[in-house]
Amino acid sequence: MPSVTLDSVVAVHPRVSIRPEPFGALLYHFSTRQLSFLKDRMLLEVVRACDGTRTLGEALGTTGVPAAQTARYLRAVETLVASRMLESASAGTAPRRTAPDSATISTEAVA
């Protein structure tokens, strides 16, 4: 598992498309052809704030994530890095490419 910290700088992969939904959002990666579901709107805001310039700590701050929930959001971001929806923008904090995570299935699931 890649690890991300509050100092990591990540960005949405350029081949990822984001579709907001009432429950959160759908993310689709055109290269891996995988789909992710974000289960709440605040996580969507966090993902949008990950622009490759801010640290994750700054992104969580901008979005207004309560301090008590920081760990949860970090874990969510970690999952997105593992499925390559987000990629590290600062060398060394997270691997650029990882094998598809076991929690990731292809969009086949809805084909």
Contacts with other proteins by CB under 8 A lie at 15, 17, 19, 21-23, 26, 28, 30-31, 33-40, 42-43, 69, 71-73, 75-76, 79-80, 83, 85, 100-111
The helix (run of H) or strand (run of E) holding residue 42 is helix 41-49
DSSP structural state of residue 33: T
In the complex, least distance from residue 60 CB atom to other proteins, rounded to whole angstroms: 10
In the complex, least distance from residue 28 CB atom to other proteins, rounded to whole angstroms: 4
In the complex, least distance from residue 54 CB atom to other proteins, rounded to whole angstroms: 18
Nearest-angstrom CA–CA distance, 94 and 104: 18
Opening angle at CA 103, ends 98 and 107, nearest 5:
90
